[in-house]
Chains A and B, each alone.
Chain A
Amino acid sequence: AQSVTQLDSHVSVSEGTPVLLRCNYSSSYSPSLFWYVQHPNKGLQLLLKYTSAATLVKGINGFEAEFKKSETSFHLTKPSAHMSDAAEYFCVVSDQRGFQKLVFGTGTRLLVSP
Chain B
Amino acid sequence: DARVTQTPRHKVTEMGQEVTMRCQPILGHNTVFWYRQTMMQGLELLAYFRNRAPLDDSGMPKDRFSAEMPDATLATLKIQPSEPRDSAVYFCASGQGQGATDTQYFGPGTRLTVL
Chain A residues within CB distance 8 Å of chain B:
32, 34, 36, 41-46, 49, 51, 90, 94-102, 104-107
B42, B43, B106: the one contacting A45 at CB < 8 Å is B106
User: Are B56 and A102 touching (Cβ within 8 A)?
Assistant: no
State the majority secondary structure of interface residues on B: strand
Give 4 A-B pairs besides A97-B100, A98-B99 with Cβ atoms closer than 8 angstroms.
A43-B4, A96-B100, A98-B100, A106-B42
Chain A residues positioned under 8 Å from B43 (CB to CB): 90, 104
Q: Let me know if B102 is at the binding interface, CB within 8 A.
A: yes
| Residues of B in contact with A (beta carbons under 8 Å apart) | 4, 31, 33, 42-43, 45, 48, 55-56, 91, 93, 95, 99-109
Chain A residues whose CB sits within 8 angstroms of the CB of B109 once the complex forms: 42-43
Most-contacted residue by chain B among A32, A43, A98 (CB, 10 A)? A43
Chain B residues near A100 (CB-CB < 8 A): 31, 95, 99-102, 104
User: Considering the chains assembled together, what is the distance between the CA atoms of A28 and B5 in angstroms?
Assistant: 35
Given A100-B31, A104-B42, A106-B42: A94 touches B48 (CB 8 Å cut-off): no
- Cα A95 to Cα B42 in complex, Å, equals 19
A-B contacts, 17 listed (Cβ < 8 Å): A42-B108, A42-B109, A44-B93, A46-B104, A94-B100, A94-B101, A96-B101, A99-B55, A99-B100, A100-B95, A100-B100, A100-B102, A101-B45, A101-B56, A102-B33, A102-B104, A104-B42
Give the distance to chain B from A63, nearest Cβ to Cβ, in Å: 15
CB neighbours of B95 from chain A (8 A):
100
A43 touches B100 (CB 8 A): no
In the docked arrangement, what's the CA distance between A107 and B39, Å? 11
Which chain B positions have C-beta within 8 A of A97? 100
A43-B4, A44-B91 known; A51+B107 contact, CB < 8 A: no
Known: A32-B101, A51-B101, A99-B56. A43 touches B45 (CB 8 A): no
Q: Which residues of B contact A95 (CB under 8 A)?
A: 100
Determine how close the nearest CB of chain A comes to the CB of B104; give it in whole angstroms.
7
Also in contact, A107 and B42, with CB within 8 A (given A94-B100, A95-B100, A98-B100): yes
From the candidates A41, A43, A49, name the one contacting B103 in the complex (CB within 8 A). Answer: A49
